[in-house]
Amino acid sequence: MLGPHVPELRALELLVLVSETGSLSAAAAELGITQQAASSRLRTMESLVGASLVDRSRRGSLLTPTGELLVQWSGAVLAAAAQMDAGIAALRADRRGHLTIAASLTIAEHLLPGWLVALRARQIHAGLTPTEVTMTATNSERVESLVRTGEVDLGFVEGPDAPADLHHRLVGTDTLVVVVGPKHPWVTKPSRRVSATTLAATPLVVREPGSGTRMVLDRALQDLGTVGPALELSSTAAVRAAVAAGAGPAAVGAHAIREDLALGRLVKINVAGLDLTRRLHAVWRGGVQPPYGAARDLVSWAADHPA
Amino acid sequence: MLGPHVPELRALELLVLVSETGSLSAAAAELGITQQAASSRLRTMESLVGASLVDRSRRGSLLTPTGELLVQWSGAVLAAAAQMDAGIAALRADRRGHLTIAASLTIAEHLLPGWLVALRARQIHAGLTPTEVTMTATNSERVESLVRTGEVDLGFVEGPDAPADLHHRLVGTDTLVVVVGPKHPWVTKPSRRVSATTLAATPLVVREPGSGTRMVLDRALQDLGTVGPALELSSTAAVRAAVAAGAGPAAVGAHAIREDLALGRLVKINVAGLDLTRRLHAVWRGGVQPPYGAARDLVSWAADHPA
DNA sequence: ACATGGCACAAGGCTACCTTGTGACCCCAC
DNA sequence: GTGGGGTCACAAGGTAGCCTTGTGCCATGT
């Protein structure tokens, strides 16, 4: 829950613009509002935070140290918001004549928005008009089929290997982590370590077949003889909740549960000798190179900037 | 600049709460507003984003896939906002009877808010009432003096070494990066590499004396015979702007210029054989252990969770 | 001296939000 | 079957916040 002293995004944006332009009226002009509106918005923000943020003078405005601090913090918030903006823009974009992408949920959530922001920034920096991108988020299996049928220009999938019949390029890897609820018996094991065979013999909370996470897990356990799942759910959030409630162990992407681990809602279990590496690939049809200029840029940026 | 389709923080928060509680009215209750207000807020958010985010049913509400995606993105935005909230709370807190902290600017900006959020979460998780923290952000020199005079309970400083006459504990390290503007002659050097002596013989854009960044730089260059600075500025933002405009090279913390590097506003230069490591220390007066329970928790959490 | 640029104050209108009141619907328990 | 608890939507009304227009002041610079 957010306290009552946090300004809204638009107010933070204004403060950052004031810091960059050194003037209230210039910042207002950038936002397309009047100077008076900016002045008042800033005032309410100052009374909200409880400190003066801007030193107004007759020839411009300079931030106070507190203001600078807030600008830094706003930077992080607005960077995340910019990623969301890119994601929303991709969800909204008109589907014709633009670059269409399908991505697995993990990639759509955590990686793709950042890539889109970077692509856009680079295009603007190069004097181009930014490409409009349309994004579909679905599981890896369906992403591959969308690429095969040509419904999208470019796909991003996750799984143990690259798909065989599509051109691809590795754009990242991550590793699944095995977690249990805080009251699970494994929590008391020495160094919280269990063997791969123990894991394979335990009913797990898993994602639906066709998801990259599920494929990696099935592949890792296939030689150990699997037992049926305890529960099969179609979103990571549902898996997290089920595991926290004690439904059984699960293997999930590390970033999705960082906060749960810190708060003790979930506990990480070490599993010896099990390869839970998930490979993230860009995939496309046709030539060896990704199709368009923008798609090519996006793929090479992604490949060069692992998470 | 943020597009017009990004909801405000409160709206995002509502969506996350709906996702967690599975009910519009429950989410509304948590926020202290009526169910109708929540319903309308959600509606405007949906028309803003241009997609339906929640499937309303007679017994609860479930997010659509798009809604889930937005929740994930909101997670990043709200996490950053929570850090800002913690920071603002520390700026606002009443100074008596609470834990008072002074921190160098870098730490106050990038690290401390996260630590405060974690401390608060752990205290709540342990059933304690969270400690109110008061924070002052200033340069390392003044932080040390505030700790010495007892005006604050705990300090966080950065510099080449730990301060000699205070108890301390290492809570992180980072490395300064040498950058120049995109049109600087060094950009064309092979592998963008210059020698330490070349750097020492060049007038630099520096922070004011007393800042940790400055101390690290002075210390690293002291045996090479320094030339006077090109410009002396009292904030990292000012340094970044000056360097980008071509005022000369500067050494700055890596995280502060990540975006500038990606956009090509600044270019990183490799300097051979120069130790620009900055050590981040918690410092306190009195016993070998940090004073209070909360302060001790904070320090050990910080030490155990490097950035 | 006068234009320019920067900010604050004041008044007015509009919009958007929130609250109260109400209705429809479903599930469950009795 | 029927009433109670729960969910959400619709409607009406008030309020408050925000934005715009209009104005004044002051410093700088030409």
Compare CB distances from A121 to B8, B71, B262 and report the shortest one's residue.
Answer: B262
* Dihedral, B125, B128, B130, B132 alpha carbons, nearest 10: -160
- A295, A205: one domain: no
* Dihedral, A136, A137, A138, A143 alpha carbons, nearest 10: 50
Give yes or no for residue A201 having a pLDDT over 80.
yes
- A285, A168: one domain: yes
Q: Which nucleotides of D are covered by protein (CB under 7 A)?
A: 6-12, 17-22, 26-28
User: Which chain A residues are Cβ-neighbours of B125 within 8 angstroms?
Assistant: 263-264
Residue B1 lies in a domain: no
Residue B123 lies in a domain: yes
pLDDT score, position A199: 92
Angle, nearest 10°, between helix axes B9-21 and B35-49?
110
Do B298 and B119 contact (CB within 8 A), yes or no? yes
Long-range contacts made by residues A297-303, C-beta under 8 angstroms, separation at least 24? A297/A119, A297/A122, A297/A123, A298/A99, A298/A115, A298/A116, A298/A119, A298/A154, A299/A154, A299/A169, A299/A171, A301/A115, A301/A118, A301/A119, A301/A122, A302/A111, A302/A115, A302/A156, A302/A171, A302/A172, A303/A169, A303/A170, A303/A171
Residue A117 lies in a domain: yes
B44 near A CB under 8 A: no
Mean pLDDT, residues B140-159: 91
Do B304 and B169 contact (CB within 8 A), yes or no? no
- A161, A288: one domain: yes
Contacts with B, A 156-185, CB within 8 Å: none
- The Cβ-side half-sphere exposure at A296, using a 13 Å CA radius, reads 7
Residue A222 domain boundaries: 173-277
Q: Contact B73/A83, CB-based, under 8 Å?
A: yes
Do A83 and A115 contact (CB within 8 A), yes or no? no
- B31, B83: one domain: yes
Strand partners, B60: B57
Percent composition of chain B: helix, strand, coil (DSSP 3-state, to 5): 50, 20, 30
- B293, B155: one domain: yes
Residue B117 sits in a domain whose CATH number is: 3.40.190.10
Residue A108 lies in a domain: yes
**Between the CA of residue A94 and those of A99, A122, A170, B100, what are the distances in Å?**
10, 22, 28, 53
Percent composition of chain A: helix, strand, coil (DSSP 3-state, to 5): 50, 20, 30
**What tens digit of pLDDT does each residue of B184-229 get?**
999 998 889 999 999 999 999 998 888 888 988 998 988 887 788 8
Q: Which residue is nearest to nucleotide D25 (CA to C1')?
A: A58
- A285, A164: one domain: yes
Compare CB distances from A6 to B84, B105, B264 and report the shortest one's residue.
Answer: B84
Residue A2 lies in a domain: no
Mean pLDDT, residues A58-79: 89
**CA nearest B177: which of B267, B275, B253, B259?**
B253
Give yes or no for residue A97 having a pLDDT over 70.
no
**What tens digit of pLDDT does each residue of A263-293 get?**
788 999 999 888 888 899 999 987 777 677 8
- A78, A115: one domain: no
Q: Would you tell me how many other CB atoms lie within 10 Å of the CB of residue B248?
A: 18
The per-residue pLDDT of chain B, averaged, comes to 88
Q: Contact B73/A89, CB-based, under 8 Å?
A: no
Name the domain boundary from A95, A112, A142: A95
**What tens digit of pLDDT does each residue of B234-264 get?**
778 888 888 988 889 999 988 888 878 877 8
Q: Contact A237/B68, CB-based, under 8 Å?
A: yes
In this structure, the strands spanning A154-159 and A99-103 are parallel
CA dist., res. A123 & res. A260, Å (int): 37
The CA-based diameter of chain B, rounded to the nearest angstrom, is 76
Mean pLDDT, residues B156-167: 85
Q: Would you tell me how many other CB atoms lie within 10 Å of the CB of residue A191?
A: 7
Extract the tokens encoding A224. Answer: 């150990």
Say yes or no: Cβ of B74 under 7 A from any atom of strand D: no
pLDDT score, position B136: 92
Residue A1 lies in a domain: no
CA dist., res. A273 & res. A220, Å (int): 10
In this structure, the strands spanning A267-272 and A167-180 are antiparallel
Contacts with A, B 215-254, CB within 8 Å: 235, 237
Say yes or no: Cβ of B44 under 7 A from any atom of strand C: yes
Q: Contact A73/B109, CB-based, under 8 Å?
A: yes
The count of structural domains within chain A is 3
Residue A256 sits in a domain whose CATH number is: 3.40.190.290
Long-range contacts made by residues A29-33, C-beta under 8 angstroms, separation at least 24? A30/B1
Residue A3 lies in a domain: no
Give yes or no for residue B94 having a pLDDT over 80.
no
A285 near B CB under 8 A: no
Give yes or no for residue A17 having a pLDDT over 70.
yes
Q: Contact A92/B5, CB-based, under 8 Å?
A: yes
Q: Would you tell me how many other CB atoms lie within 10 Å of the CB of residue A201?
A: 13
CA dist., res. B108 & res. B303, Å (int): 15
Place of tokens 């990639």: A107
- A26, A115: one domain: no
Cα of A20 to nearest chain B Cα, Å: 9
- B237, B118: one domain: no
- B31, B177: one domain: no
Place of tokens 């909360």: B294
Strand partners, A170: A281
More confident residue, B270 or A162: B270
**Between the CA of residue B180 and those of A169, B192, B240, what are the distances in Å?**
33, 10, 9
- A166, A236: one domain: no
Q: Contact B83/A65, CB-based, under 8 Å?
A: no
Say yes or no: Cβ of A45 under 7 A from any atom of strand D: no
B-chain residue closest to A114, CA distance: B73
- A49, A198: one domain: no
Residue B2 lies in a domain: no
Name the domain boundary from A95, A125, A146: A95
Percentage of chain A modeled with pLDDT above 70? 98
As a rounded value in angstroms, the CA-to-C1' distance for A55 and D24 is 21
pLDDT score, position A205: 92
Q: Contact A87/B69, CB-based, under 8 Å?
A: yes
A-chain residue closest to B31, CA distance: A1
Name the domain boundary from A95, A112, A145: A95
If residue A61 lies in a helix (H) or strand (E), which one and from where to where?
strand A60-63
Residue B66 sits in a domain whose CATH number is: 1.10.10.10
Q: State the sign of the Cα–Cα–Cα–Cα dihedral B31, B32, B35, B41.
A: negative
**What tens digit of pLDDT does each residue of A98-118 get?**
899 999 988 999 899 999 998
A-chain residue closest to B27, CA distance: A1
Place of tokens 């995340």: A80
